[in-house]
Homo-oligomer: A and B are copies of this chain.
């Protein structure tokens, strides 16, 4: 069986352009009647559209079928600790409308999701579309969420969210399938599909108020057994003092040593006006000595934890996102310095360590990718 056959009709059309019925039969090895039946379903659901073109060998014109990226829309929400972003994307996960607001996740699920519902309607009507055009809704949360049920699990920074039925709440209001994931998983997925689709192994680190991670193995988001994969903030940092207590209850966690909230606190002790990660980034960009020094050291601390993960997973690329990744090269330099010193030479030989190419949009792009891939798989014709 060929790879093309495995990928299915819709994937062939999506990735490789328009094809005729005869071409699809030849490429897949499927029976002619099977191909015809599947094309009929795809046409009736508007996933594909017919195009008329002449046959090269001079016979009568044959109809070619093409993927239709505007057939449906994906709604994608990236709900961070202190700010939220909502986007509408087409079936190529290209963003066609978006909105953002300073909405803190501590305002609770009804308030935050209320903003999502209201803003979704505004964005859709601005596009001349409506809720019936949605093929799904992707939601990223700043804490662990069970991917199967979409319920947040004991999220430390999200009072009121524990066990809240995000899926049902949004589905009742929006009428489309809802997928919930950790926001860093979504960022990893978005970054991979949009900027590094050929990279099999990618590690994404979000350095903002907290420190989180997401991991792509063999081109797929790795969620782990309970959907809890990707945490790096609560790994013990070798450079942490023995009495450093973390909000999670453990000692010596990376986030308690080098997270944006902790760095902001140190700058406040030095008399600076720094409430959170964004203020730290602002001071670093302004060249503030202490902020730069703390940022560089935070990079080394993160690098120390990443070095072990690089040895174990041998990724092709490490991508850095979050507010502190947008404050210049100091953080990245600290990470590179430590990873190249600490990891095995074979594992760092071709390792790329870089800032996110999508910046603040990584999360909403990833949510759109998640929704579209799920919707396409859900046609059962993929």
Please report A residues at the B interface, Cβ cutoff 8 Å: 1, 5-6, 8, 29-32, 34, 144, 153-154, 200-201, 213, 215, 217-218, 220, 222-232, 234-238, 240, 248, 250, 252, 304-305, 307-309, 311-316, 341-342, 344-347, 349-351, 381-382
**C-alpha gap A250/B248 in the complex (Å):** 31
**C-alpha gap A223/B313 in the complex (Å):** 8
**C-alpha gap A213/B235 in the complex (Å):** 19
Given contact pairs A5-B5, A227-B314, A235-B308, a sample of 11 additional A-B residue pairs in the complex whose CB atoms are under 8 Å apart: A1-B381, A154-B345, A201-B224, A217-B217, A225-B314, A225-B315, A228-B347, A231-B347, A236-B304, A250-B342, A305-B308
Residue from A220, A230, A345 whose CB has the most chain B CB atoms within 10 Å? A345
Q: Once the chains bind, are B309 and A224 in contact (CB under 8 Å)? A: no
**C-alpha gap A196/B236 in the complex (Å):** 30
Minimal beta-carbon separation of A268 from chain B (angstroms): 28
- 19 A-B pairs with CB atoms under 8 Å apart are A1-B6, A1-B8, A29-B34, A31-B32, A144-B346, A154-B345, A201-B224, A217-B217, A217-B222, A228-B311, A231-B344, A232-B311, A234-B344, A235-B311, A235-B312, A236-B304, A237-B238, A238-B240, A238-B252
User: Which residues of chain B are near A222, meaning CB under 8 Å?
Assistant: 217-218, 313
Q: Once the chains bind, are A349 and B226 in contact (CB under 8 Å)? A: yes
**C-alpha gap A32/B29 in the complex (Å):** 10
Q: Once the chains bind, are A313 and B344 in contact (CB under 8 Å)? A: no
Minimal beta-carbon separation of A73 from chain B (angstroms): 26
Question: Which applies to chain A's interface (DSSP): helix, strand, loop or mixed?
Answer: loop
**C-alpha gap A346/B223 in the complex (Å):** 12
Minimal beta-carbon separation of A375 from chain B (angstroms): 17
Of chain B, the residue at the smallest CB distance from A222 is B217
Of chain B, the residue at the smallest CB distance from A381 is B1
User: Which residues of chain B are near A250, meaning CB under 8 Å?
Assistant: 341-342
Q: Once the chains bind, are B238 and A236 in contact (CB under 8 Å)? A: yes
User: Which residues of chain B are near A229, meaning CB under 8 Å?
Assistant: 312-314, 347
